[in-house]
Structure 1
Amino acid sequence: MKKLITFTLLTLLMFSPVFQIQAQASDIKGHQMESDLNYWIGKNVIRADAKGNYNPNRAVTRGEFASYIARALKLPVSTKYTFKDLKANMGLTIEIQNAAGAGILSGYPDGTFKASEKITRQQMAGMMYKAMRYMDLPAQKTALKFKDSKKISANFVDAVSTAVNLNIIRGDHRKDGVYFNPKDNATIAHASAFLFRLFAAAEVLKPTEPSEPNPNEPGKPEVPSVPEVDPEVYKVSTISGGKLLPTTALYKTYEDALAAYNASSSVKAIGKNNRIIKIKSGRAFGSENPKQYTSLYSDSTLRTEVTYIQKGYEMNYIGSSENHVILEVGGLTFYAKPNEVDLVPTELVTGNSFYEVGTDGVLYHDTYNNLTKTRGVYSIGPAASSMKNGKRYTSLDGVHFDEVGTKNTITHYPYFQFQSVRQPSSYSGAELDYFITEILKDRQKTGLARYKDAPTTSKLIGLGNYLKAIEETHRVNALFILATAIHESDYGISGNSLTKNNIFGIKVFDSSPESGGTYKHPNNSVDAFINEYMNKNYANPLGGYSYGAVPGNKVVGFNVRYASDPNWGSKIAGHMWRIDTFLGKKDYKQADLGRIIYTGPVGVNVRTSPDPLSAKLFSYKQKDPGANAAFGYPVVIVDETVGSDGFKWYKVIADSNPPADYGWIRSDLIERITE
């Protein structure tokens, strides 16, 4: 058996990236195949012309491609074949002869090789096919599905088929299908890419050593399957001219790439298969992926999902390893899969979200989506008195606001975002109906086509009395229910609302917005929202998604698990504030809000009376309050007294429904947050 040429293209190169042979010519910078070209240039396989250019888009000749293979394989010297049209002892002639001696190429019947003739794509596939046989690589063919497969010469069908099976040849993707273009001239850039994929496949398809027989078929060598994507390749990148530029060095292991990353201050990122997995500083955003959101896990094993973030939204980047990214959301540390996070070095960040206080004293959130590069703005409610108009603030949890350009941090809990939904609203059903009528007229006045018939077609019309009845029987604030319906149904005129009476987006997921539950009447949608979601899992301290009975954020409240949008809780709060403002501001700061601050190893008991020996209504399970200790369970304080143990106790609205409307918690376990 011929000796396998083990070309270790993925291993750490001999020197740090700053010492690698770099392509100085500007004619490959920014080229689609720049990294492939740079790799072979660094290996002295592809060389510059007399002017120092590499001419990536120039058609490659038969002689040039033969020389690339001879250099890449480091073929032994051979004089077995000579061609009458080549000058003896010339560098190119020797390399062509070496390739011929290895059985990789042959000449024409007249004894010529025609080195200066442009090589076609099918001829290039033919040479690579023979190179695979020289390397003793197992070759498996696949059915060709190119639109122009019939144009491939019979002599090259097996070669092209094998190259397609190994993912070396991928074709030209057009609107009407994929083409191979067999007789088109291949370019130098094409040659670099084909060779790179060939030698990468070689690492996967090394023949099984005789001493290691396949246990499944004794005596037969195992033929490993070839992945659909290129084998794992690690690169390190610098930044220049507003772009991330991979160096020519390729690394087989993350550890090798990390060594180069740590050794050079100019290196800003590590990439794996063209995805950035580590940066020295910057921002993290939810990435585009089949789920349409980024899962956030409790630890690096990535087994227990805690919450999730919508694609394009910002998170605080802490660090990363080969297999996970460490992120901070709301003062809590989470872990995510690298392929679900976009890491952007500081120098390349194009935008971020921020908060501003309007001249009306209202806090506005200006949001940024990194994928769409679009912005949006919504109002949340009155800003903290210490927040000033004209100042800009940043916050990733909607509570701790860092004033841009200063070290000043302001803590502010937007009222409706952290008020328990067990707190009843002051408004009647008739008042809620009045608001619905007027807001739909207001929507119509925007001139947007989708709101043209809103005052007569919206599924919110006439819901007021039913929402109040639900509030009384199921203890869920009617203002909150209406605000959620407005947000999820676009004021009752969304497709799911009009066709399915689904005004809460129930069972409508990011990956399938067209899906969703169907209901006989909008009232039935309200019933499902309350019984199957709020009182069963979210607002119930014994529920599966119990993080506090408030809209909240990604650390506390319904927002932790109810929606992928990290700003869902503050948007719901904004709707509640606007409804309340329109109807007379009777609900804003009606309640005294607090949060449980106990961080011990057990939960907090809520008792029937201010006595540690009294019956327990329920317990708040242990919860990480975050780095700022700001996100214990929110509560509504309605009274206080000295208990039988001599401590002050707070009477709070009970999240449970039933058995009681109120419970008691010792005051040293609660901190007031109402401003």
Structure 2
Amino acid sequence: MRKLLIGFLAMLIVLSTLSSETAKAADDLSGHAYEAEMRELMKLGIIQGYNDGTIRPNKEVTRAEFAKMVVQSFELGTPVTSASAENGGFSATAVAATSNFKDVEPGKWYFNPIAEAVEAGIIKGYPNNVFKPNELINREQMATMVSRALTAKGLVIDVSETKALDFTDTSTIRNEHREGVRILTHLGIITGNKDNTFKPKDSSKRWMVALVMLRGRDEVFPPKNLEFQASTVTADKTTVVKHFETFDQAKDYAQKNSKVEAVERSNQIVWMKQGIAATNAFTEIYPTEKLSADTKSTFRPYVPANTELKFLDATATTVKVELAGKTGYVSSKVVRLIPQPMLKGQSYYEVDKGNLVHKLFNHSTGSYVSTGIIGKAPKEFVSGMKYYSWDGATFTTSAGAKVVESHQYFNKLPLHSASSYTAEELDKFLKDKFPYYNKTQQGKVWTSSPLVGSGKFFKEMEQKHKINALYLLSHAIHESGWGTSKIAQDKRNLFGYGAVDGDAYNKAYSYATFRESIEDAAKRINSGYLSPTGGYYNGPVLGHKGIGMNVRYASDAFWGEKIAGHMYRIDSYLGNKDLNHYELGYTTTSPLNFRKDASTNFASIYTLKTTGVPVILNQQVKAANGAMWHEVASENNSYAKAYVHGDYIKLLPLAQK
């Protein structure tokens, strides 16, 4: 018995490119061999007809259309409109990978679906950086993409345990597609022809693709007589031990049975004893189990697909997680729970010649990428060892034993501070370390560094708007690819403002000069993110998803870490003048008032409503009553300094301070 689908296959009728065919009969599905199945999907709103009233079940499907179908069928999409991110819902990695396809242009209807498919690890494109969106999808490509979607949803099949392909034309299946074909034929999702051929290069029609999606979803969300199952877990599979009517019954049984590791619902793990959670779609983290916004809470970050979260607990519909030291809740539909025995890898930190390097693991593709050198490694780190952290500061061994708490200076530096570097020194770095000399970037061979000469603008904004020049430069390098991006070159836009919702180029703001772009960014960041009264304020630091700009500025959970990494590398090259220049502390309570002298005689000049906010410590002052106060750099730009009672500030432990 097939479970009715609740959602897949996006509308294919609204695209002008698909509306030019000659109108057919009022209903061309009547009498079709798979009429019943397609009508079932139409009743659910999954497949819709065209504007002329036709269904066109025999219409062939393109690669772009198929990518969109896969993403929606297996619920891997990115609902970018569900968050207030200024930079959109996609991670920088997914947008960059999609933009690299020469024939996938921002603004086309298929840009978002292809970006979503890239994010989920479903598509890679062709070797010459093209995707060929309008080319018809063939059977072997279809098999590979669906196989990857099953993997992204946690359905792991050991291909060695499946029957070898015995089609008479097996040799014509490309090597990179054979595993996908073998897995899907093993599952019965795709079958051969009556003459025992597979015909891997044949195209597919709408009714064929619909059947594949239905069968694939049956594997991911199979019907059960009883909704919940308590299961054992091995490296490659789960095995149901007992079925239960309710989640609570299954969880209680699992907790009392030492051999049972997880609770499943329709073949999806919804609770486990130990493991990690990985997002499989754009995900918002809410402050309560109700999964609704709390207007009093500043903690409501969002992250892209393939972000690791610390698993704490779960209900039948929600998962309690920890992200960057903060607790929150997500829908069980947007995360994949991976029990410890099933972990194929996990993100970690390591030391490289005294520097800290972060390796990120993609649970969909099973591969690692590095964010590069991001700062000083804690002195406790040993070469060759892997260290794990959920907030980039508290590190443990693989066994969970705490090693050290060690924060990165530039990641926690309040950004109203001043850099020690001159405009000339910043330009020297831009000239000396430009990575694209004589290389092609955005269709242009670069013989000079385009940002050289901008050092004076970053220093001007530092003095004029009290925002760190080294940070502004690092932010611009990160967002504009050292000034080589098309938006930077055509629109003089170094920070990507306006470039959202999959139409980055057309929606990006235009500026007359780089200076104008830098000043606009300084104003926006100051008012929105660095001011205690700003709408996106979570502390005046780069931070992560628990504190600072990264909570709301970008979906990438390591955006703040990456910008801080740029600052560290620039500082290292120019002489280490900025590293540990200021003494840093952090607040231990909220709300916390900051005053214009070391007393309560006057009203506060600003109040911090967030705990754990880093501050620059200037000196200690003894009040008239003998109490110790801290003089700190003020977050209110009308004041150079502010005072806060010493009981509410602790020193921030920094790496190799």
Question: Under a length normalisation based on structure 1, what TM-score does the superposition of the two structures give?
Answer: 0.63
1:529 aligns with: 521
Q: 1:160 to 1:413 in 2, by over 3 A?
A: closer
1:383 aligns with: 377
Map 1:444-523 → 2, pairs under 5 A? 444=437, 453-456=445-448, 458=450, 460-509=451-500, 513-514=504-505, 515-523=507-515
**Could you tell me how far 1:619 is from its partner in structure 2?**
0.9
- Please tell me whether residue 284 in structure 1 is matched to residue 277 in structure 2: yes
Q: Deviations over 1:308-352 (max 9, x none)?
A: 222212110001101211001222211111122121111111111
1:433 aligns with: 427
- Please tell me whether residue 325 in structure 1 is matched to residue 304 in structure 2: no
Aligned mate of 1:443, from 424, 436, 448: 436
Question: Match of 1:435, SS?
Answer: helix
8 Å contact from structure 1 (residues 443, 451) kept in 2? no
- Please tell me whether residue 346 in structure 1 is matched to residue 340 in structure 2: yes
Question: Match of 2:572, SS?
Answer: helix
**Could you tell me how far 1:297 is from its partner in structure 2?**
0.7
- Please tell me whether residue 372 in structure 1 is matched to residue 365 in structure 2: yes
Aligned mate of 2:601, from 599, 603, 613: 613
1:411 aligns with: 405
CA distance, structure 1, for counterparts of residue 424 and residue 566 of structure 2: 18
1:638 aligns with: 618
**Could you tell me how far 1:363 is from its partner in structure 2?**
1.1
Q: 1:323 to 1:232 in 2, by over 3 A?
A: farther
8 Å contact from structure 2 (residues 263, 270) kept in 1? yes
- Please tell me whether residue 423 in structure 1 is matched to residue 403 in structure 2: no
Q: 1:517 to 1:342 in 2, by over 3 A?
A: farther
CA distance, structure 2, for counterparts of residue 669 and residue 474 of structure 1: 28
**Could you tell me how far 1:464 is from its partner in structure 2?**
0.7
Q: Deviations over 1:637-657 (max 9, x none)?
A: 112221122112211111122
CA distance, structure 2, for counterparts of residue 310 and residue 351 of structure 1: 19
Q: 1:640 to 1:165 in 2, by over 3 A?
A: closer
Map 1:559-578 → 2, pairs under 5 A? 559-578=550-569
Q: Percent sequence identity over matched residues? A: 28
8 Å contact from structure 1 (residues 381, 574) kept in 2? yes
Gaps of 5+ in 1: 1-8, 10-32, 37-141, 186-192, 198-227, 626-631
Q: 1:245 to 1:391 in 2, by over 3 A?
A: closer
- Please tell me whether residue 672 in structure 1 is matched to residue 651 in structure 2: yes
- Please tell me whether residue 585 in structure 1 is matched to residue 576 in structure 2: yes
Query: Which residue identity is paired with 2:515?
Result: N
1:546 aligns with: 537
Q: 1:151 to 1:381 in 2, by over 3 A?
A: closer
**Could you tell me how far 1:258 is from its partner in structure 2?**
4.0
**Could you tell me how far 1:411 is from its partner in structure 2?**
1.0
8 Å contact from structure 2 (residues 233, 262) kept in 1? no
Q: From the CA coordinates, give the structure whose radius of gyration is larger.
A: 1
1:662 aligns with: 641
CA distance, structure 1, for counterparts of residue 554 and residue 437 of structure 2: 28
Question: Match of 2:431, SS?
Answer: helix
CA distance, structure 1, for counterparts of residue 398 and residue 509 of structure 2: 44
Map 1:118-133 → 2, pairs under 5 A? none
Q: 1:569 to 1:345 in 2, by over 3 A?
A: same
Question: Match of 2:599, SS?
Answer: coil
CA distance, structure 2, for counterparts of residue 259 and residue 403 of structure 1: 30
**Could you tell me how far 1:260 is from its partner in structure 2?**
5.5
Question: Match of 2:437, SS?
Answer: helix
Q: 1:354 to 1:613 in 2, by over 3 A?
A: same
Map 1:71-220 → 2, pairs under 5 A? 152=33
Q: 1:469 to 1:247 in 2, by over 3 A?
A: same
Q: 1:434 to 1:165 in 2, by over 3 A?
A: closer
1:91 aligns with: none
Larger RCO (CA under 8 A, 6+ residues apart): 2
**Could you tell me how far 1:469 is from its partner in structure 2?**
0.7
Query: Which residue identity is paired with 1:299?
Result: T
Q: Deviations over 1:551-588 (max 9, x none)?
A: 11111111111111221222111111111111121111
CA distance, structure 1, for counterparts of residue 479 and residue 28 of structure 2: 45
Q: Deviations over 1:254-294 (max 9, x none)?
A: 3454466456544433334444322222111121x3xxx21
8 Å contact from structure 1 (residues 233, 273) kept in 2? no
8 Å contact from structure 2 (residues 231, 264) kept in 1? no
Deviates more, 1:326-335 or 1:367-376: 367-376
1:300 aligns with: 289
1:392 aligns with: 386
Question: Match of 1:432, SS?
Answer: helix
Q: 1:259 to 1:597 in 2, by over 3 A?
A: closer
- Please tell me whether residue 309 in structure 1 is matched to residue 303 in structure 2: yes
Gaps of 5+ in 2: 5-24, 48-56, 63-135, 140-189, 195-209, 215-220, 294-298
8 Å contact from structure 1 (residues 233, 272) kept in 2? no
Question: Match of 1:549, SS?
Answer: coil
8 Å contact from structure 1 (residues 237, 247) kept in 2? yes
- Please tell me whether residue 361 in structure 1 is matched to residue 354 in structure 2: yes
CA distance, structure 2, for counterparts of residue 297 and residue 634 of structure 1: 24
CA distance, structure 2, for counterparts of residue 538 and residue 168 of structure 1: 41
**Could you tell me how far 1:248 is from its partner in structure 2?**
9.4
Aligned mate of 1:652, from 628, 632, 657: 632
In the alignment of these two chains, the number of paired residues is 474
CA distance, structure 1, for counterparts of residue 259 and residue 27 of structure 2: 45
8 Å contact from structure 1 (residues 238, 244) kept in 2? no
Q: 1:318 to 1:333 in 2, by over 3 A?
A: same
**Could you tell me how far 1:253 is from its partner in structure 2?**
4.3
**Could you tell me how far 1:478 is from its partner in structure 2?**
0.2
Question: Match of 1:611, SS?
Answer: coil
Deviates more, 1:274-283 or 1:662-671: 274-283
Q: Deviations over 1:578-633 (max 9, x none)?
A: 111111211111111111123xxx51111111122134211111x3x5xxxxxx11
8 Å contact from structure 2 (residues 276, 309) kept in 1? yes
Question: Match of 2:357, SS?
Answer: strand
Aligned mate of 1:244, from 215, 230, 237: 237
Query: Which residue identity is paired with 2:380?
Result: S
Query: Which residue identity is paired with 2:580?
Result: K
8 Å contact from structure 1 (residues 235, 247) kept in 2? no
**Could you tell me how far 1:143 is from its partner in structure 2?**
8.2
Query: Which residue identity is paired with 1:555?
Result: G
CA distance, structure 1, for counterparts of residue 233 and residue 400 of structure 2: 29
RMSD value over aligned CA atoms?
4.0
Question: Match of 1:541, SS?
Answer: coil
Q: Deviations over 1:179-222 (max 9, x none)?
A: 9x9xx99xxxxxxx99xx9xxxxxxxxxxxxxxxxxxxxxxxxx
Q: Deviations over 1:81-119 (max 9, x none)?
A: xxxxxxxxxxxxxxxxxxxxxxxxxxxxxxxxxxxxxxx
Q: 1:168 to 1:274 in 2, by over 3 A?
A: farther
8 Å contact from structure 1 (residues 232, 272) kept in 2? no
Query: Which residue identity is paired with 1:382?
Result: K
8 Å contact from structure 1 (residues 237, 267) kept in 2? yes
Question: Match of 1:392, SS?
Answer: coil
8 Å contact from structure 1 (residues 236, 268) kept in 2? no
